[in-house]
A and B are shown apart, each in its own frame.
Chain A
Amino acid sequence: SQQGEEDPQALSIQEGENATMNCSYKTSINNLQWYRQNSGRGLVHLILIRSNEREKHSGRLRVTLDTSKKSSSLLITASRAADTASYFCATDADSGGSNYKLTFGKGTLLTVNP
């Protein structure tokens, strides 16, 4: 089952604009991560935010986490054509015990037009 749900499913913007993607999840978590995937290939880790953190930055990326609303957002500033990819949030919900797995949402397809 999918724990995270990204919103929107697809986003198309112009180069230089900011892109915001949202993720909601259902159960309590220890951490939430964002990954990027180009053209159905491997996943690239972007950023991890822990449940006791509210905001984190990495280069042009800004991630927020609201555990009371069980939601996170990923902001990409000054987007570039090379940012075109699918973006997934992943949580460690359902981990614990002997299962240490990431549970992914369905992803947001971001298209940045030159």
Chain B
Amino acid sequence: ETGVTQSPTHLIKTRGQQVTLRCSSQSGHNTVSWYQQALGQGPQFIFQYYREEENGRGNFPPRFSGLQFPNYSSELNVNALELDDSALYLCASSSVFRSTDTQYFGPGTRLTVL
């Protein structure tokens, strides 16, 4: 167990809807990253937050947005869901800013878009 929790575990939405996924970082970690993992693929970086600000972003459209709260928990919001958004969404927390050293991943949220 990494101490990183995510909710919900599973989620089913229909195309065009909006979804919010939540992540609680490991205690003492101030940096959180979000990844999307399509079936049979490796995780792909969505964005990273540090001290409530977006620190970097991967190749994802603006309808993917995030928030980080003062307690370092985080949300991933996806608007106007598309079928291709069906994937496992992983968050990872770390204690070192500006570093890709060990990141601690949560169990993920599996999103299905119908």
Contact = CB atoms under 8 A, between A and B. Distances in A.
Interface in B57-95: 57-59, 88, 90, 92
B2 interface: yes
A85 interface: no
A101 B58 contact: yes
Interface of B: 2, 4, 33, 35, 37, 39-45, 48, 55-59, 88, 90, 92, 97-108, 110
How many A residues are at the interface, by size bracket? 20 to 34
Given A100-B98, A104-B42, A42 B55 contact: no
A46 B35 CA distance: 18
B106 A42 contact: yes
Residue of A4, A35, A43, A99 contacting most chain B CB atoms (<10 Å): A43
- Which of the listed residues A2, A33, A101, A105 has the most CB atoms from chain B within 10 Å of its own CB? A101
A99 B56 contact: yes
Nearest to B97: A100
Secondary structure of the A contact surface, majority rule: loop
B43 A43 contact: yes
B44 to A, nearest CB: 7
Contacts of B102: 33, 45, 48
Given A100-B99, A106-B40, A42 B108 contact: yes
A106 B9 CA distance: 23
Q: Which of B42, B43, B44, B97 has the most CB of A within 10 A?
A: B42
Contacts of B35: 102, 104
B49 to A, nearest CB: 11
Given A33-B102, A40-B37, 15 more contacts: A4-B42, A33-B100, A40-B88, A42-B105, A45-B102, A45-B103, A45-B105, A48-B101, A98-B55, A99-B56, A101-B100, A102-B103, A104-B35, A104-B44, A106-B40
B57 A99 contact: yes
Nearest to A9: B40
A92 B43 contact: no
10 contacts: A2-B41, A33-B100, A41-B107, A43-B92, A44-B105, A100-B55, A100-B56, A100-B99, A102-B100, A104-B44
